[in-house]
Amino acid sequence: MTFQPILTRNYARRDSHRLATYEAGGGYGALRKALARKPEEIVEEVKSSGLRGRGGAGFPTGMKWGFLPKGLDKPVYLCVNADESEPGTFKDREIMERDPHMMIEGTIISSYAIGCRHAYVYIRGEFWAAFVRLRDALDEAYRAGYVGKNVLGSGFDLEITIHRGAGAYICGEETALLESLEGKKGQPRLKPPFPAMVGLFGCPTIVNNVETLAVVPWVVDHGAAAYRAMGTEKSPGTKLFSVSGHVERPGNYEVPLGIPMMELIEKHAGGVRGGKKLKAVIPGGSSTPVLNAEECARATLDYESFASLGTFLGSGGVIVLDEDTCMVWALSIIEDFYAHESCGQCTPCREGTGWVARVLRDLEAGRGTMADIDLLLSLGKNMMGNTICVFSDAAAMPLESFIKKFRGEFEEHVTRGGCPHAGRSFLELATR
Amino acid sequence: MTPAPAKTIKMQLNGAEVEAPEGQNLIEVCRGRGIVVPHFCYHPGLKVDGNCRMCLVEIEGMPKPQVACATPAREGLKIHTDTPKVLEVRRAVLEFLLVNHPIDCPICDQAGECYLQNYYMLHGKYESRLEGDKVEKRKVVDLGAQVVLDTERCVLCTRCVRFFRDVTGREELYIKNRGDHSEITTFPGRDLESAYSGNVVDICPVGALTSKDFRFKCRVWYLKTVDSVCPGCARGCSTFVDHAQNEIQRLRPRHNAAVNGWWMCDAGRMGYHEVRQGRLLGGWLAGHGEVAARHALDETARILAGATPADVGFVASPDLPTEAMFALARFAALFGGARVAGGSLRAPWVEDGILRKADRHPNSKALEILGLAGGLAEMLARPPRVLVVSEEDLAGDGGEAALAALARVESLLVLSSRRTPTVEMARAALPIPTYAEIDGTFVNFAGRLQRFHRAINPLGEARAVPALLAELAARLGKEIGWTPATATPAALWPAIAEAVPAFSGVRFDAIPADGFALDPAREAIAR
């Protein structure tokens, strides 16, 4: 089957965010179909579609839903993770800004499937425009009877509450999100228990990413087989990739999984900017290990190919770095981010991220030593795998991959006593 | 009180098969086998948080090390606490904890009982890899009456945060900021207001929370420690008395699951100051004031020698140790027919639902068991010619009515540790020691018999009540059953156990550290 866009199908329409536009394109048809079926059938449909979570971990969505305990006398909650904060990722924001009803319909259908009567959307606080679009769309959906008491006369009740976060990257981690939603400081919880057993307000909870839920109506409408007809065996369907950095046309692109990464960069994003050579790509958001140009040439956009290259598809944030990029500087920016965003709960992460960022700033400024390079690798190793959540790993992975693949640049900073690319600020590079 | 015993499971610890209750956390399983799994955030009295990552151990079949504190024991679990991987992770976590730590041990009160220091000596000892600046944070932050905070020394284990959340139920601390700028703080504009704040000093594993009272007073390695019992109320919290140079330096709660858990209140903690305050160090004689104890003893003996049984009354205090009460009862019996009352005129406290009881006396229950409780009002309504008051400050606590009653007593004789208004009204008064200066027992409100140990020498000329009364009995030519030299609790207890059904079988030297519950049935017989 040839590629057909799922997530971006309405983007080009005028007033794509309005209910009327969405309905004109067949919107909420999937909801009607879903309500006519048993909830278990919807779960089965999503399971057999092979849809994998688009928030970063890539966990099969249907299987996640299957972890909910049966016959527990407690409400079930669905939380929509709209706290998109991974540097390099901006796909969920665009969904909410340009086609919020797609996500809302997905939320309703998924709630119906898992037995949720009250869903929460946890939206990143900085997403004001997306919030306004989503809020207005939700109002439209309530008025049209898609949400609220007795949805479309089916007897199914659903409330959806939008909650704005206050600007912490960690609140995208699902248990930190739940803590924050409960009014506490957003810090990841010890697991087990997992949210499917003990989640929001102590009740069974599913947390799904915006893009994941936005796909659900299409899957219900067209069937799992149609979804599986795109993409690869283990990575079925299409996915949004946010391409940023040194390309001619940065932006979100929906492509079937499995196409060569260079096709995304060259065909869709217009290639490396100004005819420069490609140096590296951070393929799935800032936390994923970097790929050098040779690896980029081999990479295809699917979970398996990225795993074989020792990296992750992640959230689909493809950051392209051209030949002029200082890798020490780039890493320093990334690690500053993690030092700023560590929740501070676990020792290795709290202290490690800050320490790494300081050493990198010194290296970039020419104050580093050769020993610092090995120190960084050692700190990365000590930060990996020893904490409550994977934030620490997320900070350690780029560290290790940058140094291993571009060690020469780090050493050059020491021998030169400064940055060979010095004099160019981040803003200069970004706006050139 | 104790939950139903959990199923016993078999698991492997460092290759050896061990049995443990199912669900017990691995730190405790290891502790029970003499294996210390280092930890900062875990505390058995608080809910598990798992943030410090110091207790990571390897579990066969798990790819990553797991925190022992949050891993329950289960059948077939195979854990390792001493593999190269575990030791490496421990060292790494320690190094992270010390990156921004000021390492100011020479001026830190916690030095000597600091987890960071101890673990560094056991698991660290590496060359510092830190160059450059540390994160600077607030120091010497005044948190109210009990506690001073140094946020640079803090390891952010949140034990103190969880103490208020889990124990007092009113949150007073939290962590502000994120990452390595995280800081413990009270809510804006607030001090620690809890009457249990001092406990956070005990549970702070490092020098972040220190005691205002104890700061800079004594290096902890000079301290000697005895097991004791707080005399502040009828709860009778188990305590440690830390002392040096015949001076109590501080009190700390001693774990006792049946009495106080891991905690004590601030009033009890500060109560040790009373050991030194307002003491009657020698004797007292009307018209002379403070005199050498022997003069007061002579006068007391003279008055009692001239009294008939109908003339004499005794007041026993619920503050006295059991042995002193027993001795007083025996002494009173030497004056067959003398009236004996027991109790206090002190206004009660308000119970707080945590530890503090309304009854401010540590040994009211023993007074009951010995049959000495009650009768105080009657005694004061119809005072005898000669009244012997032990430890109670009737004049100070009882107001006008008590003063009027005491004024009608011809010869007021007092045994007291403090120079109270009652002492100052007395014909003669004799100094006795406080609980900190002797061995003895208290029975708490729930009927738990606990032993306390002598921490410091008796102040001034203070003599324990049994010895004092033996001396008086001898002067009067009466036989009380022991001599001043044999008036030790160990020597008295066989007689106490024989005479009092509730105490039968008790051997003083065999009382366990956490005491034991007296048989309520036998207690009833005694009454």
**What are the tens digits of pLDDT across the range B77-96?**
999 999 999 999 999 999 99
Q: Which residue has the higher pLDDT, B233 or A167?
A: B233
| pLDDT value at B524 more than 70 | no
- Which pLDDT score, from 0 to 100, does residue B133 have? 87
- Which pLDDT score, from 0 to 100, does residue B4 have? 64
Query: How far is Cα B101 from Cα B222, in angstroms, rounded to an integer?
Result: 25
* Phi and psi at residue B256, to the nearest 5°: -150, 105
- Which pLDDT score, from 0 to 100, does residue B1 have? 41
Q: How would you list the strands of the sheet with B209-211, edge to edge?
A: B141-142, B147-149, B209-211
**What are the tens digits of pLDDT across the range B463-482?**
999 999 999 999 999 999 99
Q: What tokens appear for B79 in the block? A: 């854990």
| pLDDT value at A58 more than 70 | yes
**What are the tens digits of pLDDT across the range A234-261?**
999 999 999 999 999 999 999 999 999 9
The string of DSSP letters for B339-388 reads EEEE---SPP----SSS--S---TTHHHHHHTT--B-HHHHHHS--SEEE
Closest-CA distance, A337 to chain B, in angstroms, reads 11
**Residue holding tokens 């981690």?**
A173
**Residue holding tokens 């020498």?**
B457
- Which pLDDT score, from 0 to 100, does residue A220 have? 97
- Which pLDDT score, from 0 to 100, does residue B527 have? 35
- Which pLDDT score, from 0 to 100, does residue B132 have? 79
Query: How far is Cα A72 from Cα A69, in angstroms, rounded to an integer?
Result: 6
Query: How far is Cα B241 from Cα B249, in angstroms, rounded to an integer?
Result: 8
**What are the tens digits of pLDDT across the range B500-516?**
999 999 999 999 999 99
| B180 and A CB contact within 8 Å | yes
What does the CA dihedral A372, A363, A383, B86 come to, rounded to 10 degrees?
Answer: 10
- Which pLDDT score, from 0 to 100, does residue B6 have? 78
| A308 and B CB contact within 8 Å | no
* Phi and psi at residue B174, to the nearest 5°: -155, 175
- Which pLDDT score, from 0 to 100, does residue A362 have? 93
**What are the tens digits of pLDDT across the range B101-126?**
999 999 999 999 999 999 999 988 88
Query: How far is Cα A170 from Cα A86, in angstroms, rounded to an integer?
Result: 10
Average pLDDT score, chain A: 95
Query: How far is Cα A210 from Cα A123, in angstroms, rounded to an integer?
Result: 10
Closest-CA distance, A151 to chain B, in angstroms, reads 41
DSSP-assigned letter for residue B39:
-
B308 Cβ contact list (under 8 Å, min separation 6):
none
| A352 and B CB contact within 8 Å | yes
| pLDDT value at B522 more than 50 | yes
**What are the tens digits of pLDDT across the range A356-406?**
999 999 999 999 999 999 999 999 999 999 999 999 999 999 999 999 999
Query: What's the rounded mean pLDDT across residues B166-189?
Result: 96
Give the residues across from B390 on adjacent strands: B415
Q: Which of A168, A185, A351 sits opposite B96 (nearest CB)?
A: A351
The interface predicted TM-score (ipTM) is 0.92
Q: Which of A341, A351, A362 sits opposite B97 (nearest CB)?
A: A351
| pLDDT value at A430 more than 60 | no
Is there a contact between A347 and B54 if contact means CB atoms under 8 Å apart?
yes
**What are the tens digits of pLDDT across the range A104-129?**
999 999 999 999 999 999 999 999 99
**What are the tens digits of pLDDT across the range B26-51?**
999 999 999 999 999 999 999 999 99
- Which pLDDT score, from 0 to 100, does residue A282 have? 97
Query: Which of B62, B180, B187 is the mutation pick for testing A, counting most A CBs within 10 A?
Result: B180
| pLDDT value at B131 more than 90 | no
Rounded percentage of chain B residues whose pLDDT exceeds 90? 94
| pLDDT value at B441 more than 60 | yes
Is there a contact between B156 and A344 if contact means CB atoms under 8 Å apart?
yes
**What are the tens digits of pLDDT across the range A96-108?**
999 999 999 999 9
Average pLDDT score, chain B: 95
3-state helix, strand, coil in chain A (%, to 5): 50, 15, 35
**Residue holding tokens 């002193």?**
B324
| pLDDT value at A154 more than 50 | yes
| pLDDT value at A71 more than 90 | no
The number of C-beta contacts closer than 8 angstroms across A and B is 91
What is the CA A134 to chain-centroid distance, rounded? 18
